[in-house]
Structure 1
Amino acid sequence: MKRRTFLTAALALGVAGCAPAATGGSPSPSASGPAPSASNARATIGLSYIPNVQFAPFYVGQSQSLFDGVDAAVSVRHHGSNEGLFNALTAGSEDFLVAAGSEAMQARAQGVDVIAVGSYYKTFPVEVIVLGSSPIQQLSDLKGRKLGVPGRYGESWLAVQVALATAGLSEDDVKIVEVGYTQVAALSGKKVDAVTGFRTNELVQLQAAGAEPRSLPVAPGTVPLVSTSLLTTAAYAKAHPEVVRQVIAAVTKAIEATAADQKAAIDISAKQIPGWTEAARPNAEAVLAATVDVMALQDGKFLPALDPAQWDAMSAFLEKSKLIEKPVAAADAFTNEYSG
């Protein structure tokens, strides 16, 4: 399974030597060692890309000992540069994974034992982005124009399918251009008329470059796709239900702490990001602010429960659009049993 564009740290932070991960390969070391535990349980949390400020809550959680209440040895592990998204989870070297709910549902259709147990991004972050001067004012204006995408995979590609359905268009109505992870350059250089990109990444980069971008949601209201979530396996949840509850509670506190003091969160994250320099701080501040925005806290509180209606809508959309190998009922792909 190819990877999505969730984190492209080199561009988002301007940190040299960083790049998005791909498939295959060997694991990377944990970002830090496991926390002490009174039990023999282990809770290794997989962060699916290299260190990035978008993972700040996990660094904050460790720094502020928010995982100490988990009755398991908690550690955070970044994936290797050539590692498949679900490889470590299915191999048993990870117990949790931070990845898109849409990818989890697609993986489940392929027989992977994965379920979503908590939210991370509450608002779908992928949008169609155009330059401020573009005549494209609504999604239907994409007809006959060049739309840049990283590739025909991952969250960005699923977002394209939703956008086209919203606009009443088909793939034949637009000119799909695969630009890899160069959406910002492709749009800025006017090689394409629009791109799909993340509010937490490409949109921030374009704003920082003074391009005055505009973004168009891929659907009105709630998008029928679930973005970044906290995943585990049904087997692990059955074996360690209290640990799952405790991890969700700890991540929730860490998100709230990150949102409450974003400067401190960046200071903590900087220690985890290879090649960090203070020159990266302004961009990091913008990225983290956008990340907190899509987490949609309410009066400083984060609600980890997943939206059943959104999961039902995603199940129906993926099946109708033939974007999934076989139907997967929403109830089989997520649960709120542990987030209450």
Structure 2
Amino acid sequence: MHRRTLLTAALALAAAGCAGPSTTSGSPAASGSAPTSRAVIGLSYIPNVQFAPFYVGVNDKLFDPVPAQVSLRHHGATEGLFNALTSGAEHFLVAAGSEAMQARAEGVDVIAVGAYYKSFPVQVLALDSSPVQALADLKGRRLGVPGRYGESWLAAQVALNTAGLTEADVTIVEVGYTQVAALTTKKVDAVVGFTTNELVQLQLAGANPRALPVAAGTVPLVSTCLLTTTAYAKKNPEVVRQVVQAVASAIEATAADQPKAIDIAATQIPGWTAAARPNAEAVLQASIDLMDVHDGTFGPALDATQWAQMAEFLQSGKLIKTPVTATDAFTNTFAM
């Protein structure tokens, strides 16, 4: 859920760059008195149904056991992804593990403490009528990407590596956040897009998209997860533990009653109308599919193998400035 990838059709209903209202959960302390510490959870772009578990968590008071005052904060359009976390304005951040590892390589104190998306959401998308039927078919063709940054760009690197290709074998076209238009107007032959965004838009438009996974098996990139700083985690271990568990419970509640979750999310999305609901339903279902809820249960533990593979891939591809040891970038201490 890269912060710049949330410009879906549903988001067009919200004012561009508008930060959503700060939603707070009044979490009682164990003694019954008001908590003295704060736990601000940063949601990396404007209000969207992909953040439904957090809205559900506040609405259903699932954050109440946390020994801190929990609130949600949406980022502004031009805000740096990690700025509020490193300044202390936020204590948690919902963002990609790949971005966190890149930031850590640049000296940012950030660590992943809980899972959110368990499957990687970025794929190479082509129209069903396109000759691009496998990643190897990208050779000599135009591949659209938002830009040379973020999850989409990293996914493009994985896709080329999987196909045995290099950037020199394809024509990279930076199309901004117009992947759907670029693909359907044949400005490009394929695009890198999100299953919770571009793929949904193409499907709802009846464009018959073909989605190609960027790697066989486990993608060596970690997508959206719950981040904090090592300094905050050391100082507030029980807060971190309870927030991780509350998010897991909120994901379970969202999966169990998606219509209710959309109703709750609608109260947080500026400009919401009933016309946005079909898109929201499709996006929420795609999001829950990525969360991998089994028998109503969501496990917040992170995949150690995937983190190790990501560290190796980013380093070997020179996609991080300095090597990062996987175990320095994530922990399951608070997810068990």
TM-score, normalised by the number of residues in structure 1: 0.95
CA deviation vs aligned residue, 1:245-292 (integer Å, no higher than 9, x gap): 100110000000000110000000000001100000001000000000
Between 232-241 and 293-302, the greater mean CA deviation after superposition: 293-302
Partner of 1:258: 254
Partner of 1:156: 152
Work out whether residues 48 and 85 of structure 1, in 8 Å CA contact, stay in contact via their aligned partners in 2.
yes
Give the distance between the partners of 1:185 and 1:29, measured in 2 at CA.
27
What is the letter of the counterpart of residue 22 of structure 2? A
- Indicate yes or no: 2:26 matched with 1:35: yes
**CA separation of 1:233 and 1:30: change in aligned 2, threshold 3 A:** farther
Matched ranges for 1:1-340 at <5 A: 5-8=4-7, 11-13=8-10, 15-19=12-16, 28=19, 30-38=21-29, 39-340=35-336
For residue 9 of structure 2, give the secondary structure of its aligned residue in structure 1: helix
- How far did residue 31 of structure 1 move? 2.4
Give the distance between the partners of 2:37 and 2:156, measured in 1 at CA.
41
- How far did residue 16 of structure 1 move? 2.9
Work out whether residues 14 and 280 of structure 1, in 8 Å CA contact, stay in contact via their aligned partners in 2.
no
CA deviation vs aligned residue, 1:71-96 (integer Å, no higher than 9, x gap): 10000000112110000000000000
Give the distance between the partners of 2:4 and 2:212, measured in 1 at CA.
18
Give the distance between the partners of 2:27 and 2:248, measured in 1 at CA.
20
Work out whether residues 164 and 170 of structure 1, in 8 Å CA contact, stay in contact via their aligned partners in 2.
yes
- Identity between Structure 1 and Structure 2 (%): 69
- How far did residue 33 of structure 1 move? 3.1
- How far did residue 14 of structure 1 move? 5.7
Give the distance between the partners of 1:276 and 1:36, measured in 2 at CA.
28
Give the distance between the partners of 1:17 and 1:299, measured in 2 at CA.
34
Partner of 1:24: none
Work out whether residues 12 and 202 of structure 1, in 8 Å CA contact, stay in contact via their aligned partners in 2.
no
CA deviation vs aligned residue, 1:57-81 (integer Å, no higher than 9, x gap): 0000011010011110000000112
| Unaligned residue ranges in structure 1 (runs of 5+) | 22-26
For residue 264 of structure 2, give the secondary structure of its aligned residue in structure 1: helix
**CA separation of 1:269 and 1:17: change in aligned 2, threshold 3 A:** closer
For residue 51 of structure 1, give the secondary structure of its aligned residue in structure 2: coil
Over the aligned positions, Cα root-mean-square deviation in angstroms equals 1.3
CA deviation vs aligned residue, 1:132-160 (integer Å, no higher than 9, x gap): 11111110000000000000000000000
Count, aligned residues: 330
Give the distance between the partners of 1:32 and 1:14, measured in 2 at CA.
19
TM-score, normalised by the number of residues in structure 2: 0.96
| Unaligned residue ranges in structure 2 (runs of 5+) | 30-34
- How far did residue 28 of structure 1 move? 4.4
Give the distance between the partners of 2:14 and 2:256, measured in 1 at CA.
30
Give the distance between the partners of 1:77 and 1:37, measured in 2 at CA.
20
- How far did residue 6 of structure 1 move? 3.6
CA deviation vs aligned residue, 1:109-149 (integer Å, no higher than 9, x gap): 11100000000000000000000111111100000000000
Work out whether residues 31 and 272 of structure 1, in 8 Å CA contact, stay in contact via their aligned partners in 2.
no
Give the distance between the partners of 1:50 and 1:40, measured in 2 at CA.
28
CA deviation vs aligned residue, 1:188-242 (integer Å, no higher than 9, x gap): 1111000000000000000000001010000000000000000000000000101
Work out whether residues 143 and 169 of structure 1, in 8 Å CA contact, stay in contact via their aligned partners in 2.
yes
- How far did residue 300 of structure 1 move? 1.4
Give the distance between the partners of 1:140 and 1:110, measured in 2 at CA.
33
What is the letter of the counterpart of residue 181 of structure 1? Y
